[in-house]
């Protein structure tokens, strides 16, 4: 599914989506996916990679947890969530297509006065990497003096690096810290596991304070 491909006549399945590449003449190709058609010439390679689930240009992904995570003071807990992502196709670094594999849902995070529209998802909490195409690894730490609970997580995704294997997409490692009753989320930009391929330079995004 993900990775580098040689430009030649072929059919590629990405989730439930079929991508077709046809060599019309020597060095001249026609790319098709659903109603999208792109012609390109002399590409030595093209890539199919995951991209953040920005949808209509949102900056945040909000994941509701099926079960709350409760953590004592001074302790930490590592868990995984299944999450949506998008698929990006590029030729020699030029993006020629980007599409969804998951139904789009959005929600208001915060209040109507100062809130923001976020991509919305709901996930179980897993103690090992789930058998799903999109994954985020979370390290939850409680540095406060009281028990804390987490029932959702919100983090920056716009322009985030992604990581992948042949059949799975990963967001960067997310660190959630309780220093008070308000958790702070850090998209570290770092790979969550070993032997993953990054989509671009590994850079962190600004921390996000989850006030709601």
Up-side HSE of residue 53: CA atoms within 13 Å toward CB? 28
User: What is the structure's pLDDT at 44?
Assistant: 82
Distance CA 98, CA 87 (A): 5
Sequence-distant (≥ 6) Cβ neighbours of residue 61 within 8 angstroms: 52, 53, 83, 84, 118, 119, 121, 154, 155, 157
User: What is the structure's pLDDT at 179?
Assistant: 96
Question: Where do the domains of the chain lie?
Answer: 49-209
Residue 181 forms beta bridges with which residues? Answer: none
Q: What percent of the chain has pLDDT over 90?
A: 90
Tokens of residue 28, six digits: 């001249």
| pLDDT tens profile 137-161 | 999 999 999 999 999 999 999 999 9
Residue 33 forms beta bridges with which residues? Answer: 36
Strand order in the sheet with 3-5: 3-5, 46-51, 86-91, 94-100
User: What is the structure's pLDDT at 27?
Assistant: 83
What's this model's pTM, rounded to 2 decimal places? Answer: 0.95
Confidence band of 106 (pLDDT split at 50, 70, 90): very high
User: b vs e for 94-111, b when ≥16 Cβ sit within 10 Å of the residue's Cβ?
Assistant: eebbebebbeeeebebee
| DSSP category for residue 174 | E
Confidence band of 114 (pLDDT split at 50, 70, 90): confident
Q: Token match 């960067």: residue? A: 172
Most confident by average pLDDT, 20-24, 91-95, 174-178: 174-178
Q: Is the pLDDT of residue 43 over 80?
A: no
Confidence band of 177 (pLDDT split at 50, 70, 90): very high
């Amino acid at each position: 599914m993900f990775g580098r491909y040689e430009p030649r006549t072929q059919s590629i399945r990405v989730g439930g989506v079929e991508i077709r590449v046809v060599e019309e003449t020597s060095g001249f190709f026609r790319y098709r996916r659903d109603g999208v058609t792109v012609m390109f010439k002399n590409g030595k390679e093209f890539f199919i990679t995951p991209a953040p689930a920005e949808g209509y240009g949102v900056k945040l992904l909000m994941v509701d947890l099926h079960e709350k995570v409760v953590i004592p003071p001074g302790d930490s807990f590592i868990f995984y969530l299944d999450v949506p992502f998008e698929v990006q196709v590029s030729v020699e670094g030029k993006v020629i297509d980007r599409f969804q594999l998951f139904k789009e849902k959005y929600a208001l995070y915060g209040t109507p006065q100062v809130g923001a529209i976020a991509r919305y998802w709901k996930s179980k909490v897993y103690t090992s990497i789930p058998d799903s195409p999109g994954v985020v690894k979370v390290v939850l730490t409680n540095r406060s003096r009281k028990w804390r609970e987490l029932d959702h997580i919100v983090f920056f995704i716009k322009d985030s690096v992604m990581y992948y294997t042949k059949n799975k997409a990963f967001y960067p490692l997310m660190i959630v810290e309780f220093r008070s009753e308000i958790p702070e989320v850090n998209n570290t930009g770092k790979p969550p596991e070993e032997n993953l391929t990054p989509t671009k330079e590994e850079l962190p995004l600004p921390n996000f304070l989850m006030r709601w």
